[in-house]
Amino acid sequence: ETGVTQTPRHLVMGMTNKKSLKCEQHLGHNAMYWYKQSAKKPLELMFVYSLEERVENNSVPSRFSPECPNSSHLFLHLHTLQPEDSALYLCASSQDRWGENTEAFFGQGTRLTVV
């Protein structure tokens, strides 16, 4: 148990559906991240929030919409996804900016399948 909880663990959705992924951290961290992990591809950083403000957005399609209402919660809203968006979506958090003498803690991920 890392202190970062993601729900749901598994999600199957159609291309016209709207769904949301939720991430909650109980570590008192100030930064939160969304990553996409696809088979046989490097881990892709999608979004970074620091103190509830988005600080990075790595050219992610607009069908993915993040929301960070407070420092403990992070959402990823999904709409009109494509089958190639099927992947494991990982949430992470860190005390401050990750890499500045601190490590990130990851949730267990949401396995998303788009049909």
Partner 1 sequence: AQSVAQPEDQVNVAEGNPLTVKCTYSVSGNPYLFWYVQYPNRGLQFLLKYITGDNLVKGSYGFEAEFNKSQTSFHLKKPSALVSDSALYFCAVRDDLSGGSYIPTFGRGTSLIVHP
Indicate whether 95 belongs to the interface with partner 1 (CB under 8 A): no
Q: Which of 33, 34, 49, 64 binds partner 1 (CB under 8 A)?
A: 33
> What tokens does 54 get?
């988005």
Compare residues 78 and 92 and give the one whose CB is closer to partner 1.
92
Residue 80 Cβ, how far from partner 1 at the closest point, in Å?
26
Indicate whether 42 belongs to the interface with partner 1 (CB under 8 A): yes
Indicate whether 109 belongs to the interface with partner 1 (CB under 8 A): yes
SS3 assignment for the chain: CCCEEEECCEEEECCCCEEEEEEEECCCCCEEEEEEECCCCCCEEEEEEECCEEEEECCCCCCEEEEEEECCEEEEEEECCCHHHCEEEEEEEECCCCCCCCCCEECCCEEEEEC
Rule CB under 8 A: which of 53-72 touch partner 1?
56
Compare residues 11 and 90 and give the one whose CB is closer to partner 1.
90
Q: Which residues bind partner 1 (CB under 8 A)?
A: 2, 4, 6, 33, 41-43, 45, 48, 56, 88, 90, 92, 97-101, 103-109, 111
